[in-house]
């Protein structure tokens, strides 16, 4: 069973992913893979530097993610250039990790930009985690120390809730307690594993 898991930034998707792991799902994390494919010494980082210039590197030669984020999240064309480099590399890693999972596993691909990628139809099911936009902003201000403008720009750069709902086979609305969230995730997992 191949499942896509997506949701907007600060929607609680990571919490849902952790609960799914506890329930027995195999998680393949898109954010983690997106970091791995542009680590120092990788062809991915070389391609990003070729596209954006050496100023997106730290003094140690690592990708300066905040600096690159400021560039791409305020410029859709530049963001698409970055996605054109990173997405194919991430999908190669997904395929390799999925092939290594046990045959009867519920394999959950944690993909922040699943709605944007147009690949939702490649999964047996898609879980969308949704949270009201103001809650997302509050979480980014509190947990990440971002400005309201940065938080709102990041939300605006992602798919709308309507676009995400359109690809959902399972919707998890994260607007209650953690216990409410766990109960809903358990219901969805029971349907998937059944």
The position carrying tokens 């596993």 is 105
- Which pLDDT value is given to residue 73? 84
- Which pLDDT value is given to residue 128? 98
Burial letters 101-132, b for 16+ CB under 10 A, else e: eeeeebbbbbbbbbbbbebbeebebbbbbbbe
- Which pLDDT value is given to residue 30? 82
- Which pLDDT value is given to residue 140? 94
- Which pLDDT value is given to residue 113? 87
- Which pLDDT value is given to residue 31? 84
Under 8 Å between Cβ of 43 and 36: no
Q: Kindly list the domain boundaries of the chain, sorted by start residue.
A: 1-25+106-194, 33-104
Distance in Å from the first CA to the final CA of the chain = 10
**Fold agreement between 1-25+106-194 and 33-104:** yes
To the question of domain 33-104 being in CATH 3.40.50.300, the answer is: yes
What CATH number was assigned to the domain covering residues 1-25+106-194? 3.40.50.300
- Which pLDDT value is given to residue 171? 98
- Where does the chain show beta strands of DSSP type E? 2-7, 26-29, 107-110, 125-130, 170-173
pTM: 0.78
Residue spans of the chain under pLDDT 70: none
Nearest Cα to Cα of residue 6 among 146, 139, 109: 109
- Which pLDDT value is given to residue 131? 95
């Amino acid at each position: 069973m191949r499942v896509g898991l997506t949701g907007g930034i600060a929607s609680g998707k990571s919490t849902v992913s952790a609960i799914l792991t506890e329930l027995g799902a195999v998680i393949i994390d898109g954010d983690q893979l997106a970091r791995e494919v542009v680590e120092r010494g990788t062809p991915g980082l070389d391609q990003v530097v070729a596209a954006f210039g050496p100023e997106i590197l730290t003094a140690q030669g690592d990708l300066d993610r905040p600096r690159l984020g400021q560039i791409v999240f305020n410029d859709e064309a530049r963001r698409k250039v970055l996605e054109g480099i990173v997405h194919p590399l991430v999908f190669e890693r997904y395929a390799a990790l999925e092939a290594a999972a046990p045959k009867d596993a519920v394999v959950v691909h944690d993909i922040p930009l699943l709605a944007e990628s147009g690949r939702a139809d490649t999964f047996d099911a898609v879980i969308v985690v949704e949270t009201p936009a103001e809650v997302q902003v509050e979480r980014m201000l509190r947990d990440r120390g971002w400005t309201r403008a940065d938080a709102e720009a990041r939300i605006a750069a992602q798919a709308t809730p309507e676009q995400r709902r359109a690809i959902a086979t399972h919707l998890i609305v994260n607007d209650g307690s953690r216990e409410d969230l766990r109960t809903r995730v358990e219901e969805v997992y029971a349907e998937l594993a059944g």
